[in-house]
Amino acid sequence: MNNNQIVKKFLRKDFFKNKTILITGANGVLGRILAEVFYDLDAKLILIDKKMNNFKRKNIFSYSIDFTNILKLEKILNKEKKKFKNLDLIINNAAYTGTDINWIKPLNYQTYRDWQDAHKVNLDSVFIISKVFSKNLIKNKGKIVNIGSIFSENVPNFFNYKSTKMSSPAAYSITKNSLHHLTKWLASYLAPNVNVNMVSPGGISRNQDKKFQKKYINSTPLRRMCTEEDVINTVLFLSSHLSDYITGQNISVDGGYSII
């Protein structure tokens, strides 16, 4: 491939035209932006979240599914998968996150119920979705992009949470770490037909406690928090032909936070 061909490939505007893309957690902040971006790029969308709304448009199919009910999730996907035989890309974005104050507690108060639900949403759902649609992706030489976290490879710095109402429960870090290994396992198993990678954002700026933000930013070489745009740029790269020779990787989008 000569330089001119490389430039033309890079500038193509039809990477995702008529591609069928499944996005979980599509009604969350990041999920909604991902859906809007891929829709603007002429993709066909399958959107899943616990509660779906405001996506009634052409070439969009939406499903309200509670991922803590794994058996129901698998049953619905098996029932619907024939509709999506042309599936090209799965973005596993749904997460049982640390933003809900009801489960941000000291270790001795963290519940087994939250531990189980975090595993169901953050890890088990990825396994089920990948399993159900594996043949579709193999046939279409598709891709999977999992949304991880800096805690997929690092433990939280609890000093950053001191004197705030914020924290990071054990189940969140553990499930994201396990998701990292599942990403590598799927990449190996589904090769050479399917690329599987993970994007691990640092702390995304969302009006957190100013004390936390100051300490977090001071621990980050690029001296700012992550944005949704930072994450989406990397997802777009891993979803496109530009990353065809990349699989089993975890890309940290954290401003260098994890290197210190």
Provide φ and ψ at 177, rounded to 5°.
-65, -40
CA-to-CA distance for 136 and 145, rounded, in angstroms?
15
Q: Which residues of 199-231 are buried (b: 16+ CB within 10 A; e: fewer)?
A: bbbbbeeeebeeebbebbbebbeeeebbebebb
CA 34 to the chain's CA centroid:
10
Q: How far is CA 144 from CA 135, 198, 247, 253, in A?
A: 13, 8, 9, 17
pLDDT along the chain (260 residues), means of 10: 65 83 95 95 94 80 93 94 92 80 83 93 97 96 97 92 90 96 98 98 94 95 96 96 96 95
At 251, is the secondary structure helix, strand, or coil?
A: strand
Answer yes or no: 39 catalytic: no
| 87-92 and 60-64 strand pairing | unpaired
pLDDT on residue 10:
64
pLDDT on residue 105:
86
Ordered by where they begin, the domains of the chain are 14-158+169-203+229-259 (3.40.50.720)
Between CA 202 and CA 52, with CA 48 as vertex, the angle to 5 degrees is 100
C-beta atoms surrounding 34 within 10 Å: 27
pLDDT on residue 3:
65
pLDDT on residue 83:
86
From the candidates 39, 96, 172, 257, give the one annotated as an active-site residue.
172
**97, burial (CB in 10 Å: exposed 0-12, middle 13-18, buried 19+):** middle
* Residues 6+ away with beta carbon under 8 Å from 130: 90, 92, 144, 186, 196
pLDDT on residue 13:
67
Claim: this prediction has a pTM higher than 0.85:
yes
pLDDT on residue 260:
85
